Chain A
Amino acid sequence: MNKQTLFELLQQQGITRRGFMKYCTALTSLMALPPSMIPIVANALESARRPSVIWLSFQECTGCTESLTRSHSPTVEGLIFDHISLDYHHTLQAASGDAAEHAREQAMKDNYGKYLVVVDGSIPLGDPGYSTIAGISNLDMLNETVAGAAAVIAVGTCSAYGGLPMADPNPTGAVSVTSLIKDKPVINVPGCPPIPTVITGVLAHYLTFGSIPELDELGRPKVFYGQSIHDRCYRRPFYDKGLFAETFDDEGAKKGWCLYRLGCKGPMTYNACATLKWNQQTSWPVESGHGCLGCSEPNFWDAGSFYKALSIPDGDYAKAAGYAVATGVAVGAAAGFVNRKTKSTAVSQHTKVTVDDFELNKDKK
Chain B
Amino acid sequence: MSSEALADIKIQVEAPEYDSGNLHSILSEIKFALEQLLEQKKTHSIDLRAMPWSPGEEDKLEQYLGRGEISVELNALGKSTFYESRFSGIWIVTHYNQEDEIIGKLIEITTMPEMIFSQYEDIKESLENIQIQP
Contacts and interface: CB of A to CB of B under 8 A. Distances in A.
B2 to A, nearest CB: 9
The 7 A-B residue pairs with the shortest CB-CB distance in the complex, in nearest-first order: A234-B54, A19-B76, A73-B103, A17-B119, A35-B45, A17-B121, A232-B52
Contacts of B77: 15, 19, 22-23
Interface centre among B46, B47, B103 (most CB of A within 10 A): B103
Interface in B29-52: 45-47, 49-52
Nearest to A274: B52
Contacts of A16: 76, 119, 121-122, 125
A73 B80 CA distance: 14
Contact of A29 (B21, B49, B114, B125): B49
B105 to A, nearest CB: 8
Contacts of B19: 237
Interface string B98-133: 110111101000000011000111100100000000
Contacts, number: 110
27 contacts: A16-B119, A17-B119, A17-B122, A22-B74, A22-B95, A25-B95, A26-B95, A26-B103, A29-B49, A29-B50, A29-B106, A30-B103, A32-B50, A34-B50, A35-B46, A72-B99, A72-B101, A72-B103, A73-B102, A78-B97, A234-B53, A255-B16, A256-B16, A256-B55, A274-B52, A275-B49, A281-B49
Given A21-B114, A280-B3, A233 B52 contact: yes
Nearest to A34: B47
A234 B22 contact: yes
Contacts of B1: 279
B117 to A, nearest CB: 9
Contacts of A30: 103
A287 interface: yes
Contacts of B122: 16-18
Contacts of B99: 72, 75
Interface string A270-295: 00001110011111000100000000
A22 B21 CA distance: 30
Given A17-B121, A18-B115, A26-B103, A276 B20 contact: no
The interface size bin for chain B is 35 or more
Interface string A14-44: 0111110111011011101011101000000
A35 B103 contact: no
Contacts of A280: 3, 6, 101-102
Contacts of B120: 17
Contact of B52 (A18, A36, A72, A234): A234
A234 B54 CA distance: 5
Contact of B103 (A18, A74, A235, A236): A74
Nearest to B117: A18
A112 interface: no
A238 interface: yes
B69 interface: no
A275 B50 contact: yes
Interface in A284-315: 287
A18 B119 CA distance: 7
B17 interface: yes
B47 A29 contact: yes
B76 A73 contact: no
A238 B18 contact: yes
Contacts of B121: 16-17
B47 A35 contact: yes
Given A35-B45, A238-B18, A282-B6, A26 B76 contact: no
Nearest to B6: A282
A255 B17 CA distance: 8
A280 B54 CA distance: 15
A234 B95 CA distance: 25
A90 B115 CA distance: 40
A235 to B, nearest CB: 8
Given A29-B50, A282-B6, A73 B97 contact: yes
Interface centre among B19, B77, B114 (most CB of A within 10 A): B77
